[in-house]
Chains A and B, each alone.
Chain A
Amino acid sequence: MDELLTEFLIESFENLDQLDQDLVALEHDPNDLEVLKSIFRTIHTVKGTCGFLGLSILESVAHVGENLLSLLRDGVMQVDRPIADALMALTDAVRSILVNIEATQHEGTETYADLIVTLELLVIRAESGEAQSVDEAVSPVAAEPAMPEVLAVPFIPVPFIPVPEYEASPVGMRVGELLVEQGVVSQVDVAIGLIKQEAGDPRRIGEILTEAGNVTAEAVHAAVESQQVGKASAADATLRVDVAVLDKLMTLVGELVLARNQLLQVATVSEAADPLLYTTTQRLNTITSELQNGVMKTRMQPIGTVWSKFPRVARDVAAACGKQVRVDMDGKDTELDKTIIEAIKDPLTHVIRNSIDHGIESPEVRAERGKPVEGVVLLRASHEGGQVVIEIIDDGGGIDVGRVKAKAIEKGLIDVATAATMSERDATNLVFLPGFSTAEAVSNISGRGVGMDVVKTNIERIGGTIDLHSEMGVGSTLRIRIPLTLAIVPALIITCAGEKFAIPQVSLVELVGLNTTALAQSIEDINGAAVYRLRGRLLPLLDLRSELGFEASQRETATIVVLKTDDREFGLVVDTVNDTEEIVVKPLSAQIEAIRVFSGCTIMGDGRVALILDVAGVASRGSVSFEEDAVASDGDALLSLDIRRDRYIVSEVAFGRRVAISLLAVDRLEEIPSASIEHAQGREVVQYRGEILSLADLGTLTGAGSCDRGETVPVVVCTIGSQRVGVIVQRIVDIVSERFDFESGGEHGSRGVLGSAVVQGVVTDVVDIVAALGIPDGNPTSTSAEMEASYV
Chain B
Amino acid sequence: MSEPRQLCTMRVGPYLFGVDVSRIQEVIGHQPTTLVPLAPSVVGGLMNLRGQILTAVDLRSRFNLPGRAASEDGEPAESTNVVVQTSSGPVSLLVDAIGEVLEVDERQRESTPSTVDENTRRLVTSVYKFDGALLLELDVDRAVYLTEHVLQHLVGAR
Contact = CB atoms under 8 A, between A and B. Distances in A.
Interface of A: 255, 258, 499, 548-550, 586, 589-595, 597-598, 601, 603, 607-611
A598 B43 CA distance: 15
A550 B37 contact: yes
A204 to B, nearest CB: 59
B153 to A, nearest CB: 9
Interface string B35-72: 11111000101111001011101000000000000000
Contact of A608 (B32, B147, B151): B32
A592 B47 contact: no
A594 B154 contact: yes
A591 B144 contact: yes
Nearest to A587: B53
B48 A611 contact: no
Contact of B51 (A258, A549, A550, A611): A258
Given A549-B38, A595-B38, A610-B34, A589 B91 contact: yes
A591 B91 contact: yes
B51 A591 contact: no
Interface string B147-158: 100110010010
Contacts of B157: 549
Given A592-B39, A595-B38, A609-B48, A586 B53 contact: yes
Given A549-B157, A609-B48, A592 B43 contact: yes
A595 B53 contact: no
Leading 9 A-B pairs by shortest Cβ distance: A548-B37, A589-B55, A609-B46, A609-B34, A590-B88, A594-B150, A591-B146, A591-B55, A255-B51
Contacts of A610: 34
B43 A603 contact: no
A261 B48 CA distance: 15
Given A591-B150, A592-B43, A597 B51 contact: no
Contacts of A609: 33-34, 45-48, 53
Contact of A589 (B33, B54, B151): B54
Contacts of B55: 589, 591-592
Given A549-B38, A609-B46, A594 B151 contact: yes
A589 B89 contact: yes
A255 B50 CA distance: 10
Nearest to A589: B55
Contact of B36 (A550, A590, A592, A603): A592
Given A589-B88, A589-B91, A601-B46, A549 B53 contact: no
Interface string B68-104: 0000000000000000000011010000000000000
Contact of A591 (B32, B35, B48, B57): B57
B62 to A, nearest CB: 11
Contacts of B91: 589, 591
13 contacts: A258-B51, A548-B38, A549-B37, A590-B88, A590-B146, A591-B146, A591-B150, A592-B39, A594-B147, A601-B53, A608-B48, A609-B46, A611-B46
B88 A595 contact: no
A591 B37 contact: no
Interface of B: 32-39, 43, 45-48, 51, 53-55, 57, 88-89, 91, 144-147, 150-151, 154, 157
B151 A607 contact: no
Contacts of A589: 46, 53-55, 88-89, 91
Main secondary structure on chain B at its contact with chain A? Answer: mixed
Contacts of B147: 590-591, 593-594
Given A591-B88, A611-B37, 11 more contacts: A549-B38, A589-B46, A593-B147, A594-B151, A595-B39, A597-B38, A603-B51, A608-B32, A608-B34, A609-B46, A611-B34
Q: Find the residue from A499, A592, A608, A610 having the highest chain B CB count within 10 A.
A: A592
Contacts of B47: 609
A153 to B, nearest CB: 60
A258 B53 CA distance: 13
A608 B45 CA distance: 11
A258 B48 CA distance: 12
Contacts of B88: 589-591
A601 B154 CA distance: 20
A597 B154 CA distance: 11
Contacts of A608: 32, 34, 48
A601 B48 CA distance: 11
A609 B55 CA distance: 11
B47 to A, nearest CB: 7
Q: Find the residue from A590, A598, A611 having the highest chain B CB count within 10 A.
A: A590
B38 A603 contact: no
B95 to A, nearest CB: 17
A590 B32 CA distance: 21
Given A255-B51, A549-B157, A591-B43, A499 B34 contact: yes
A550 B157 CA distance: 12
Q: Find the residue from B88, B150, B157 having the highest chain A CB count within 10 A.
A: B150
Contacts of B39: 591-592, 595
Given A589-B54, A592-B43, A607 B48 contact: yes
Contact of B150 (A595, A601, A611): A595
A589 B32 CA distance: 18
A586 B34 CA distance: 15
Contacts of B144: 591
A677 B83 CA distance: 71
Q: Find the residue from A255, A591, A594, A597 having the highest chain B CB count within 10 A.
A: A591
Contacts of A548: 37-38
Nearest to B47: A609
Nearest to A594: B150
Q: Find the residue from B45, B46, B150 having the highest chain A CB count within 10 A.
A: B46
Contacts of B34: 499, 601, 608-611
A603 B52 CA distance: 9
Nearest to A544: B37
A499 B35 contact: yes
Contacts of B37: 499, 548-550, 597, 611
Contacts of A607: 32, 48
Q: Find the residue from B34, B37, B89, B145 having the highest chain A CB count within 10 A.
A: B37
Nearest to B158: A621
Q: Find the residue from B45, B48, B91, B146 having the highest chain A CB count within 10 A.
A: B48
B48 A603 contact: yes
Given A589-B91, A590-B88, A595 B154 contact: yes
A603 B36 CA distance: 14
A592 B53 CA distance: 12
Contacts of A594: 147, 150-151, 154
A788 B157 CA distance: 41
Nearest to B151: A594
Nearest to A258: B51
A610 B45 CA distance: 11
Nearest to B36: A592
A392 B21 CA distance: 56
A603 B35 contact: no
Contacts of A550: 37
Nearest to B150: A594
Nearest to A251: B51
Given A608-B48, A611-B36, A603 B150 contact: no
A716 B125 CA distance: 70
Contacts of B48: 603, 607-609
Contacts of A499: 34-35, 37
Nearest to B90: A589
A461 B55 CA distance: 22
